[in-house]
């Protein structure tokens, strides 16, 4: 440290001035290309609800498993509603006389926005935090709203401020999936349930079952013909049914439906009365009131459609919300010719929470990316694979890897890229999965909550697993495991790093939550005998949580450790550490990456984006152009086949960057990190 006014203080201040001049003369202005992060996330969320603004019909809302997306250009681009709701959305409806007001039925009750979805508030008083599957507004008394829930029917008479249960006549333990209000007689309300269809003729006060001709079956969708309100269509798990007498009698419609069973979505054109049906046998249209159906060939039989919406002004414009597993089977599709042809409209639609990354190294193979996701997000609890640098994605089929897991570690065998390991953390049988055929088939090889995996580059059959219960080691590619935690504390081992020059030397980053002090504790530990014993190497470190490690590939005695208080650096194999935070925000550093060709260049991933140093961590500046504001960076990987390309896994997707001179910070970024540098200079001066 520097304690006097002198040459080193002057050097630091001179650097600040030089750096600012350099940045101002190298500022990039383009919004794409080198120096700008590009979103390469798998686009398309699992869509469960769609709604179109009745006045500004280019404004479309898509309810998903992760929250709400909004498009203001007819689906050409989407943005995530960063102010909520953050729960799976099952229903969306817009106040017809006040289109700025939107209601969302979620897995945690009802939420309301009064400003076109920009902000939301919980409006579940009387309902509580339960699944709301359907919402319907009285067309005359627009303050009256009906909600179909996992606990039956609810009604609000004051625009959602308060709700009351209206289950008189409904059986106990009934789930209401769909609600429809008659447009000409709004006292008539229909409810589709897990026990058939019920009808009220007094605004929901009393209910009567109306299942004549209809099996006592699940009813997921009800639509009323606006030109002939006595005609009602029902989408069930036994196909489509029709009533022409306000639900008193029903008949099954099957001519051309190929004996469809499950109906995922049902819609009627308010002008032409064309009916659209998404079923387990494909997508169908009828121009004859359901008497005959025609199959659409733009969608395959295994297309999973959960929502349909029609532009109320230009009814030839339709939207379909898909919710399958594959990339092609998710997101929003649009038709401009009445449903004959469909095109994918998913630009910007991704909230994939990336927790880990790996890239296949070797000539001609560095275009393969593996991305582990967390238990939240578009492609939750999965391992994703792209064979074209993120242009397309596939969800790998890891048996027993279910919701609730986070894939925190992905490892590729350095000698055989077909051998993969995925480490998961969760509450139900977490552990390590292995594939020997590039992810086609997987075997479960070890249990435990896995935080990180690392491999001995000289002996790839030797793998180390960082867990919540210490470090474990295998020397036979995962067939057997031994505890390698002697000397480690009772803490989470968050990260491991194997010295590339002396592979018997390892480092471990640890953390533990101290409830008494309401703070993290942790340190860095070192083993020089392949994990047989460990010792703390903490001289100069803060007593805080440590989350990331990186070893200089050219000078392995140089190590970087990311913590909740910033970055620490050692140049003597961990014997001594120095904090290297000038320009960094006061926040966690969850990921670190070193440029293998220019090891003085380091990248740090934080909750406030990516920061870069070109002088071994002495000074940092933000590298965030193109990253979303709320993109918490959890993983950083440099492409081994193209070290100018860096990938950042965030809570809002995966991004890639071509890091060239144009990656210098822009004006706004200078203003962000300038206080940090000046503060560092002031501390030195004082």
Give 531-547 pLDDT, tens digit per residue.
999 999 999 999 999 99
User: 447: which 2 tokens?
Assistant: 């249990």
Distance separating alpha carbons of residues 155 and 470, to the nearest angstrom: 53
Average pLDDT over residues 19-37: 51
What integer best gives the mean pLDDT of the chain? 88
Distance separating alpha carbons of residues 412 and 359, to the nearest angstrom: 8
User: 174: which 2 tokens?
Assistant: 């009934």
What was the pLDDT predicted at 136? 98
Tell me: pLDDT of 341 over 70: yes
579 burial level (CB within 10 Å; 0-12, 13-18, 19+): middle
Q: pLDDT grade, residue 235 (50/70/90)?
A: very high
pTM for this structure? 0.74
- CA 78 centroid distance within chain: 14
What percent of the chain stands above pLDDT 90? 73
Q: pLDDT grade, residue 33 (50/70/90)?
A: low
What was the pLDDT predicted at 12? 44
Distance separating alpha carbons of residues 181 and 134, to the nearest angstrom: 12
What was the pLDDT predicted at 395? 83
Residues, the chain, total? Answer: 686
Tell me: pLDDT of 116 over 60: yes
Distance separating alpha carbons of residues 192 and 185, to the nearest angstrom: 18
Q: pLDDT grade, residue 631 (50/70/90)?
A: confident
Average pLDDT over residues 41-58: 92
Tell me: pLDDT of 366 over 70: no
- CA 365 centroid distance within chain: 27
- CA 533 centroid distance within chain: 39
**Which pLDDT tens digit goes with each residue over 75-113?**
999 988 867 787 889 999 999 999 999 999 999 999 999
Q: pLDDT grade, residue 457 (50/70/90)?
A: very high
Average pLDDT over residues 455-462: 97
| Element (DSSP H or E) covering residue 196 | strand 196-200
Q: Minimal CA–CA distance to 342: which of 303, 313, 390, 314?
A: 303
- Please say whether the dihedral angle defined by the alpha carbons of residues 245, 251, 255 and 261, taken in this order, is positive or negative: positive
Sheet arrangement for strand 463-467: 450-455, 463-467, 470-474, 482-483
How many CB atoms within 10 Å of residue 443? 12
Tell me: pLDDT of 362 over 80: no
Q: Minimal CA–CA distance to 277: which of 331, 221, 316, 227?
A: 221
Q: Return the residue matching tokens 């000698």.
A: 415
- CA 625 centroid distance within chain: 20
Pairing verdict, β 621-622 and 152-156 = unpaired
| Element (DSSP H or E) covering residue 455 | strand 450-455
Q: What is the three-class DSSP state of 420?
A: strand
Crossing angle (nearest 10°) for helices 667-685 and 7-25: 180
What was the pLDDT predicted at 11? 41
Contact 665, 27 (CB under 8 A): yes
**Which pLDDT tens digit goes with each residue over 265-317?**
999 999 999 999 999 999 999 999 999 999 998 888 888 899 999 999 999 99
Give CB contacts under 8 A, 24+ apart, made by 189-193.
189/136, 189/146, 190/222, 190/224, 190/232, 190/247, 191/148, 191/153, 191/222, 192/134, 192/148, 192/219, 192/220, 192/221, 192/222, 192/234, 192/236, 193/148, 193/218, 193/219
Sheet arrangement for strand 145-149: 132-137, 145-149, 152-156, 164-165
Q: To the nearest 10°, report the CA torsion of 121, 123, 125, 129.
A: -80
Rg (CA), the chain: 29
349 against 168, higher pLDDT: 168
Contact 616, 600 (CB under 8 A): yes
Give 405's DSSP letter.
-
What was the pLDDT predicted at 80? 85
Beta bridge partners, 323, equal 330
């Amino acid at each position: 440290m520097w304690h006097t006014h002198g040459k080193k203080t002057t050097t630091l201040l001179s650097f600040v001035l030089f750096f600012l001049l350099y940045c101002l003369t190298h500022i990039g202005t383009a919004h794409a290309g080198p120096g700008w992060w590009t979103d390469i996330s798998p686009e398309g969320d699992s869509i469960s609800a769609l709604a179109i603004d009745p006045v500004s019909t280019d404004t479309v809302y898509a309810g998903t498993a992760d929250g709400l997306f909004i498009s203001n250009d007819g689906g050409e681009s989407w943005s995530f509603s960063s102010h909520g709701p953050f729960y799976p959305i099952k229903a969306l409806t817009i106040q017809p006389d006040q289109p700025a007001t939107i209601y969302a039925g979620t897995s945690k009750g009802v939420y309301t926005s009064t400003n076109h979805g920009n902000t939301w508030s919980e409006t579940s008083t009387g309902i509580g935090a339960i699944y709301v599957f359907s919402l319907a507004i009285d067309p005359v008394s627009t303050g009256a709203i009906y909600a179909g829930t996992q606990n039956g029917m609810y009604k609000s008479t004051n625009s959602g401020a308060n709700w009351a249960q209206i289950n008189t006549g409904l059986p106990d333990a009934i789930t209401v999936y769909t609600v429809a209000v008659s447009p000409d007689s709004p006292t008539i309300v229909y409810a589709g349930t897990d026990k058939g269809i019920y009808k009220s003729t007094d605004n929901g006060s009393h209910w009567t079952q109306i299942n004549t001709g209809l099996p006592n079956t699940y009813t997921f969708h009800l639509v009323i013909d606006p030109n002939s309100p006595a005609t009602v269509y029902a989408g069930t798990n036994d196909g489509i049914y029709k009533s022409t007498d306000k639900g008193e009698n029903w008949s099954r419609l099957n001519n051309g439906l190929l004996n469809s069973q499950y109906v995922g979505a049902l819609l009627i054109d308010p002008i032409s009365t064309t009916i659209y049906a998404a079923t387990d046998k494909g997508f169908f249209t009828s121009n004859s009131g359901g008497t005959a159906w025609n199959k659409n060939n733009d969608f395959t039989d295994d297309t999973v459609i959960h929502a349909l919406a029609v532009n109320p002004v230009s009814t030839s414009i339709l939207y379909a919300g898909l919710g399958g597993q594959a990339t092609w089977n998710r997101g929003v599709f649009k038709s401009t010719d009445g449903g004959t042809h469909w095109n994918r409209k998913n630009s910007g639609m991704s909230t994939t929470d990336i927790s880990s990354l790996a890239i296949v190294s070797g000539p001609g193979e560095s275009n393969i990316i593996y991305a582990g996701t967390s238990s939240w997000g578009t492609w939750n609890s999965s391992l994703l694979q792209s064979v074209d640098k993120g242009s397309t994605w596939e969800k790998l089929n890891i048996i027993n890897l279910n919701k609730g897991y986070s894939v925190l570690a992905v490892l590729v065998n350095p000698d055989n890229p077909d051998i993969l390991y995925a480490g998961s953390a969760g509450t139900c049988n977490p552990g390590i999965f292995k594939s020997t055929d590039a992810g086609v088939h997987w075997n479960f090889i070890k249990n435990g909550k896995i935080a990180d995996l690392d491999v001995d580059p000289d002996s790839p059959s030797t793998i180390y697993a960082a867990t919540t219960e210490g470090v474990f080691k295998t020397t036979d590619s995962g067939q057997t495991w031994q505890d390698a935690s002697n000397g480690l504390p009772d803490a989470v081992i968050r990260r491991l790093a194997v010295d590339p020059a002396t592979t018997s030397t390892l480092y471990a980053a640890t953390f533990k939550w101290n409830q008494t002090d309401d703070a993290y504790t942790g340190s860095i530990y070192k083993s020089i005998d392949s994990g047989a014993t460990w010792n703390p190497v903490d001289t100069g470190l803060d007593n805080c949580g440590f989350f990331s490690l990186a070893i200089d590939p050219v000078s392995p005695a140089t190590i970087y450790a990311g913590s909740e208080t910033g970055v620490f650096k050692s140049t003597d194999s961990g014997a001594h550490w120095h904090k290297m935070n000038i320009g960094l925000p006061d926040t966690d550093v969850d990921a670190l990456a070193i440029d293998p060709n220019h090891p003085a260049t380091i990248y740090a991933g934080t909750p406030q984006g990516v920061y870069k140093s070109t002088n071994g961590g002495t000074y940092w500046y933000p590298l965030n152009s193109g990253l979303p504001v709320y993109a918490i960076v959890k993983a950083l990987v440099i492409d081994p086949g193209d070290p100018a390309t860096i990938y950042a896994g965030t809570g809002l997707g995966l991004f890639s960057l071509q890091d060239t001179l144009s990656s210098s910070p822009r004006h706004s970024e200078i203003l962000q990190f300038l206080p940090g540098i000046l503060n560092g200079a002031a501390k030195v001066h004082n």
